[in-house]
Structure 1
């Protein structure tokens, strides 16, 4: 249960989204030159492997992210149920487990696939948590995009048995578009926490460049990347309708209701827009 508490906050947005990306895109694997379409049985057998890949990489990231004294102090106030502030485990023991997880994560990737995304995620994890990458809000957005791409690519490689750089790198290009989507819009989550972030001196995109400017960047990102993704997949209006509908609803909420409740609701719409993009190569 302690292990689960480290990763509880990220099950929906990282593990579930990565799993969905892998399953959906594997169903059209030939479009990416990543082998034949897996059978239902192959997909079913791959599910535990995909989840193991995602969880092991996420757990390593969480250990890095939550073990520092400043992180423990913040979690004591905002998320006291996490293992370190709840004294379920000591920082020293968490650090020891973290080092052990490097071997486990690599072993998992060697056994089930997704080695390159695993190695890249390790680099981005260190950059974000140990090398000061999270201190700059704009750079943090880019790291979010790159990190998410790794968590999308890993399960996709596990289920297909092929690299995202296969063929003409169509899968890699698709992931690059999604990196752009996430980089320019992931600070949507920061609007709901502006007052709390200001009180503790945390630098976020809305506090750094201004609330209105930050919202406009989200709007440009949603419209621009949805347009590019739709063009990339040559989608008709039916194929693109969910992405545009979810993106439009998200932007309407973003500008119409700027209260904490409204911004919280807008952030809940963000995964729906991403899911709409996921469906573009499938429909």
Structure 2
């Protein structure tokens, strides 16, 4: 790997590895982050081999977020469309909605890819990922920031065009790009945990609206009912007040990056209480919104209670990662409530 100009000349000597080991951890992390963004060495392999490697690298960008983000949003769209005309007016059948599953998934995944490319190409993200997610393409050395930027030049217009002309959700996609710009390039995701949650909550609203419209095979926003918009807003409220559950597992990397997440700003225990209280409250509120009885709402209530308990009583990087995954499952269960009204 080439060393960028900001490095001291001693790093390009034969004792480069020993020098890196002798510096303090924060300085070493900064050095690694700069190296990861360096100009790549020319790849002499055949085009098919390079293309296959690039596709796998693109998958790695979204690997961590697909089961916890793409899948729940897809569930929202499918369940919303299968709930009849409660959320959106359409003439689709059970079979036609299920046949739209690949399109809903592709909408969520393609926009997630654009976000992850924009996020993970940044030098500060590379430094963070060396601690939290070292298998990602940039910190692992599979791709450089320069290569990621070039992929963005290709994927952004392609994804926007496909979502606009093929799935009729171009407005949602364009607005998601605006939020991506605010979060990454303008550092909105680093300013403070509440602003970060607010941007993500707005993004979830657009993802869920797009998923609902694709599932119902209608591009008209006017087909979404008042209850549909209210449900989307409620879920965004859930995200706004509980999304920082994901920050519990990433404290080390966020601290190295200088990000002002809830655990770092408020302290670990207060941050956990700000999750343990809203989760069961939102479960009860969502059940009341749909007029569900206690028996039907029991799965969401039990899962939400378990998530709240884990936030307070089960700690550690692996445990917090599991709590984050269970939180994502809890949101997916909430998304199913319109079906059982």
TM-score of the superposed pair, with normalisation by structure 2: 0.76
Distance 1:83 1:263 in 2: 24
Distance 1:190 1:130 in 2: 20
Distance 1:199 1:75 in 2: 10
The answer on whether the counterparts of 1:144 and 1:182 sit within 8 Å (CA) in structure 2 is yes
The answer on whether the counterparts of 2:272 and 2:311 sit within 8 Å (CA) in structure 1 is yes
Other-structure match for 1:138: 194
Other-structure match for 1:85: 139
Of 133, 150, 159 in structure 2, the residue corresponding to residue 105 of structure 1 is 159
Residue 243 in 1 paired to residue 297 in 2? no
Other-structure match for 2:207: 151
Segment of structure 1 superposing worse, 7-16 or 197-206: 197-206
Other-structure match for 2:227: 170
Residue 208 in 1 paired to residue 265 in 2? yes
Distance 1:128 1:270 in 2: 22
Segment of structure 1 superposing worse, 104-113 or 255-264: 255-264
| 1:168-220: CA deviation from partner (whole Å, max 9, x where unpaired) | 43222111111111111111222234355445543210221223322222133
Question: How big is the shift at 1:281?
Answer: 0.7
Residue 275 in 1 paired to residue 329 in 2? no
Q: Secondary structure at the match of 1:33?
A: coil
Of 181, 188, 192 in structure 1, the residue corresponding to residue 238 of structure 2 is 181
Give structure 2 stretches of 5+ with no counterpart. 1-55
- Over 3 Å counting, the alpha-carbon distance change for 1:239 and 1:37 in structure 2 is farther
- Over 3 Å counting, the alpha-carbon distance change for 1:183 and 1:97 in structure 2 is same
- Over 3 Å counting, the alpha-carbon distance change for 1:79 and 1:216 in structure 2 is closer
The answer on whether the counterparts of 1:165 and 1:171 sit within 8 Å (CA) in structure 2 is no
Q: Aligned runs of 1:66-85 on 2, under 5 Å?
A: 66-85=120-139
Segment of structure 1 superposing worse, 129-138 or 113-122: 113-122
Distance 2:321 2:307 in 1: 11
Other-structure match for 1:3: 58
Other-structure match for 1:23: 78
Distance 2:234 2:172 in 1: 16
Q: Secondary structure at the match of 1:56?
A: helix
Question: How big is the shift at 1:153?
Answer: 2.2
Other-structure match for 2:148: 94
Q: Aligned runs of 1:226-265 on 2, under 5 Å?
A: 226-265=283-322
Q: Secondary structure at the match of 2:186?
A: coil
- Over 3 Å counting, the alpha-carbon distance change for 1:38 and 1:123 in structure 2 is farther
The answer on whether the counterparts of 2:304 and 2:330 sit within 8 Å (CA) in structure 1 is yes
| 1:49-81: CA deviation from partner (whole Å, max 9, x where unpaired) | 222212221111111001112222333444333
Q: Secondary structure at the match of 1:194?
A: helix
| 1:99-149: CA deviation from partner (whole Å, max 9, x where unpaired) | 222211221112113223212211111110111211121111112222222
- Over 3 Å counting, the alpha-carbon distance change for 1:165 and 1:252 in structure 2 is farther
Of 29, 34, 38 in structure 1, the residue corresponding to residue 93 of structure 2 is 38
| 1:9-32: CA deviation from partner (whole Å, max 9, x where unpaired) | 111012111221111111113112
- Over 3 Å counting, the alpha-carbon distance change for 1:6 and 1:221 in structure 2 is same
Q: Secondary structure at the match of 1:234?
A: coil
The answer on whether the counterparts of 1:14 and 1:151 sit within 8 Å (CA) in structure 2 is no
- CA RMSD in angstroms, aligned pairs only: 2.2
Larger radius of gyration: 2
Residue 59 in 1 paired to residue 113 in 2? yes
Question: How big is the shift at 1:8?
Answer: 1.0
TM-score of the superposed pair, with normalisation by structure 1: 0.90
The answer on whether the counterparts of 2:197 and 2:241 sit within 8 Å (CA) in structure 1 is yes
Give structure 1 stretches of 5+ with no counterpart. none
